[in-house]
Structure 1
Amino acid sequence: MDDIDMEIIRSLIKNSRITISQMSKEIDVPDATISNRLKKLEKNAIKEYTLILDPKALGLKVTAIVIIQTESEKHENVEKELSMLEEVSEVYSISGEYDILIKLWSHSLEELNKVMNSKIRSVDGVEDLTEMIVMERVKEGVVPPMGPK
């Protein structure tokens, strides 16, 4: 990946709906070059184009980060089951005292409590967990592009 590829990625991070001609003007590279490079990036670096929603607009007032200890032989099953829950937006296998970190969303603390008790704690292989309620989103978003600008 060279500087032009990185500029294309930076441009898409700022505005994923930017047109090729707008990007061409912004980066000062011909449209055809942008188009060809974008196709290559879509094969190698860009996993998908997605949407970042405002949780408040959807009524999702509570965000929780939960770290989970699993029974080692059931770890993969726990990852799989947690990944299928619609309230869970992220699942990470981590090192240290805990094995999995998840991020989940709810409309209220009551709903969060219900999800924790009826869905998360009931997953076969969950041994222990610690919940942390997000008080404020300071920064949230996409993976930053690598390299200097």
Structure 2
Amino acid sequence: MEILRSLVENSRITISQMSKEIDIPDATISNRLKKLEKNAIKQYTLILNPETLGLKVTAIIIIQTESEKHENVEKELSVLEEVSEVYSISGEYDILIKVWAHSIHELNRIVNSKIRSVDGVEDLTEMIVMERVKEGVVPPMGPEK
């Protein structure tokens, strides 16, 4: 857990820096890191600032699907570059997605020409994000020891 916490805090940390911080030998960290990369670490990535890329609009969209076409809708939405997240959910709606756009006009085009045109989409509700209060990519890892 200490190795994961260290990587979450600074994914560019070197093994030797991590070794000094958590007081574990380099070789041990290297071996544990290899094991973590097989099952716990899905990928190394970076988080971009969307506003510096001109992505000023974020929308959360919940979608109702035709039950027999649900998997198709998931696949089709997953390949759209404007869609960063796709979740199959329970309740009145079946899928939740996160969409990025440069403007409201572009979001409207994405919704009408790309999302609504996916075979199996019955209905959807769009919610525009007004403010990002907390946004992260790492699940909680439990208390420190």
Query: Is this a same-fold pair by TM over 0.5?
Result: yes
Alignment CA distance shift 1:94-1:88 (3 Å): same
Counterpart of 1:68 (choices 39, 43, 63) is 63
How far the C-alpha of 1:141 sits from its partner, in A, is 1.2
TM-score by length of 1: 0.95
CA distance in 2, matches of 1:51, 1:104: 18
Who is 2:29 aligned against?
Answer: 34
How far the C-alpha of 1:147 sits from its partner, in A, is 2.0
1:31-61 Cα distance to aligned partner (Å, 9 max, x none) = 0111000000000100100111000110000
Query: Do residues 45 (structure 1) and 54 (structure 2) align?
Result: no
1:65-118 Cα distance to aligned partner (Å, 9 max, x none) = 000000000000000000000000000000000000000100000000000000
Who is 1:15 aligned against?
Answer: 10
Who is 1:89 aligned against?
Answer: 84
Alignment CA distance shift 1:98-1:123 (3 Å): same
- Number of aligned positions between the proteins: 144
Percent identity between the aligned chains? 88
How far the C-alpha of 1:145 sits from its partner, in A, is 3.9
Who is 1:3 aligned against?
Answer: none
CA distance in 2, matches of 1:114, 1:98: 22
Query: Do residues 109 (structure 1) and 104 (structure 2) align?
Result: yes
CA distance in 2, matches of 1:145, 1:33: 24
Who is 2:138 aligned against?
Answer: 143
CA distance in 1, matches of 2:108, 2:139: 33
CA distance in 1, matches of 2:126, 2:96: 10
Counterpart of 1:55 (choices 43, 50, 54) is 50
5+ long unaligned stretches in structure 1: 1-5
Give the aligned CA root-mean-square deviation in angstroms: 0.7
Contact 1:13-1:142 within 8 A present in 2 as well:
no
Query: Do residues 79 (structure 1) and 74 (structure 2) align?
Result: yes
CA distance in 1, matches of 2:105, 2:54: 14
